[in-house]
Structure 1
Amino acid sequence: MKSPIIEVRELSLSLQGKSILKRVNLVTHQAQICAFIGENGAGKTSTIRCIAGLYPPSEGVCTIFGEPSYGMSQHNRNRFGIVFDEGGIYSEMTAWEHMLFFGRLRGLDRSAIANQFQKLAHHFELKSNLPAGRFSKGMKQKLMVIRELLHEPELLILDEPFNGLDPDARIFLRDQLKEICLTQGTSILISSHDLFDIEKIADQVIMIQQGEIVANNTLQEITGTSEHYIVTCSNPKEVAEVIRQIEGMTVVSHDQHSVVFIINSDIIHHPLQTLLERQVEVNEFFKAKDSLEDFYRKTKQTAARNS
Structure 2
Amino acid sequence: MTTMPSDFGQTGAEGIRDLVRRATALAPIATYAEEPCPPISWDTIAGAGWDLAGIVEDGEGATTRDLIEIAREWGYGCIPQPLLPTILSKRLSPVARAADGPVTFALPLGNETLIPFGQLADISIATVLGEDGGTLVPAGEGSKDSLDLVGRGIRSTAAATTMTVEAAREVALVFAAESLGGAERLLADSIEFAKQRMQFDRPVGSFQAVKHKLANAAVAVESAETALIWGSQRPEQAFRSAVFAVDRCIDAAEIAVQVHGGLGFTWEAGLHFPFRKFLSARRVVDSLQRSHG
Q: Please, what TM-score do these two structures have when normalized by structure 2?
A: 0.24
Q: Please, what TM-score do these two structures have when normalized by structure 1?
A: 0.23
Instruction: Judging by fraction of residues, say which structure has more strand.
Output: 1
Instruction: Judging by fraction of residues, say which structure has more helix.
Output: 2
